[in-house]
Amino acid sequence: MGSEVVEEPTETTSLSSPRKIQTNDAPTANCHVSVTPTTLSIVQPHSLLPKPVPPTTTYSPNDVVVSSSATFAKFLRQRRNDLSSAISKGISTLKHSINDQNDCNCVTEFNLSGLKVFVTVENKNDASFARGRMRISFFSRSNCRECCAVRRFFRERALRFVEINVDVFAEREKELRERTGSATVPKIFFGEKLIGGLVELNALRKDGGEELERRLTAAVGEGPSAPAYGFDEAAEVEEEEEEEEEIGRVVRVLRQRLPIQDRWMKMKIARNCFAGSELVELLVRHHGCAPSKAVEIGKQLCKKHFIHHVFGENDFEEGNHFYRFLEHEPLISKCFNFRGSTNDSEPKAAAAVCDRLTKIMCAILESYASEDRRHVDYMAISKSEEFRRYVNMTQDLQRVNLLELSENETLAFFINLYNAMIIHAMIRVGCEEGVINRRSFSDFHYLIGGHPYSLGAIKNGILRSNQRPPYSLIKPFGTGDRRLEHALVKMDPLVHFGLCNGTKSSPKVRFFSSYRVAEELRSAAREFFENDGIEVDLEKRTIHLTPIFKWHSSDFGQERNILKWIINFLDANKAGLLTHLLGDGGHVNISYMSYDWSINS
In contact, 120 and 2? CB cutoff 8 Å: yes
Sheet of 193-196: strand order equals 162-165, 136-140, 187-190, 193-196
Quote the pLDDT of residue 382.
93
In single-letter form, the type of residue at position 193 comes to: K
pLDDT per position as a tens digit, 81-130:
666 666 655 555 554 555 444 444 555 555 555 556 555 555 545 544 44
Residue 391 confidence (pLDDT) above 90? yes
Query: What dotted CATH number matches 130-218?
Result: 3.40.30.10
What average pLDDT does this structure show over 67-86?
60
DSSP state of 541: T
Better-predicted residue by pLDDT, 325 or 45: 325
Q: Give Dmax (Cα) for the chain.
A: 113
Nearest in space to 451 (alpha carbons), one of 414, 426, 419: 414
pLDDT per position as a tens digit, 236-247:
445 544 445 677
What average pLDDT does this structure show over 572-595?
89
Distance CA 135, CA 125 (A): 17
Residue 419 confidence (pLDDT) above 50? yes
* Count of other CB atoms within 10 angstroms of residue 168: 26
Better-predicted residue by pLDDT, 14 or 433: 433
Distance CA 212, CA 279 (A): 70
Residue 421 confidence (pLDDT) above 90? yes
Quote the pLDDT of residue 331.
87
Look at 97-111, 156-170, 265-279, 422-436 and tell me which has the smallest mean pLDDT: 97-111
Spell out the SS3 assignment of 286-300.
HHCCCHHHHHHHHHH
Q: With H, G, I as helix, E, B as strand and everything else as coil, classify residue 281.
A: helix
Distance CA 295, CA 281 (A): 10
Cβ-count burial of 352 within 10 angstroms (0-12 exposed, 13-18 middle, 19+ buried)?
Answer: exposed
Predicted confidence band of residue 40 (pLDDT cuts 50, 70, 90):
low
Spell out the SS3 assignment of 9-65.
CCCCCEECCCCCEECCCCCCCCCCCEECCCCEECCCCCCCCCCCCCCCCCECCCCCE
pLDDT per position as a tens digit, 218-238:
888 888 888 887 766 555 445
Q: With H, G, I as helix, E, B as strand and everything else as coil, classify residue 265.
A: strand
Look at 72-76, 186-190, 501-505 and tell me which has the smallest mean pLDDT: 72-76
Distance CA 306, CA 564 (A): 49
Domain 247-330 -> CATH class: mainly alpha
Residue 342 confidence (pLDDT) above 70? yes
- Give the mean pLDDT of the chain: 80
Look at 129-133, 138-142, 264-268, 544-548 and tell me which has the smallest mean pLDDT: 129-133
Highest mean pLDDT: which of 43-57, 95-109, 317-331? 317-331
Q: What is the pTM of this model?
A: 0.76
What average pLDDT does this structure show over 181-190?
94
Quote the pLDDT of residue 88.
58
Residue 477 confidence (pLDDT) above 70? yes
Quote the pLDDT of residue 431.
72
What does the domain layout of the chain look like in residue ranges? 130-218, 247-330, 350-515, 521-592
Better-predicted residue by pLDDT, 390 or 20: 390
Distance CA 163, CA 143 (A): 14
What average pLDDT does this structure show over 352-359?
94
- The number of C-alpha atoms within 13 Å of 81 and in the hemisphere containing its C-beta is 7
Better-predicted residue by pLDDT, 266 or 84: 266
For residue 307, which phi and psi values (nearest 5 degrees)?
-135, 160
What average pLDDT does this structure show over 450-457?
95
Alpha carbon dihedral 208, 211, 212, 217, in 10-degree steps, equals 130
Quote the pLDDT of residue 24.
41
What average pLDDT does this structure show over 308-321?
84
Helices (H), 242-314: 246-257, 276-287, 291-303
Residue 62 confidence (pLDDT) above 90? no
Distance CA 422, CA 511 (A): 12
Quote the pLDDT of residue 208.
73
Q: With H, G, I as helix, E, B as strand and everything else as coil, classify residue 271.
A: strand
Quote the pLDDT of residue 16.
40
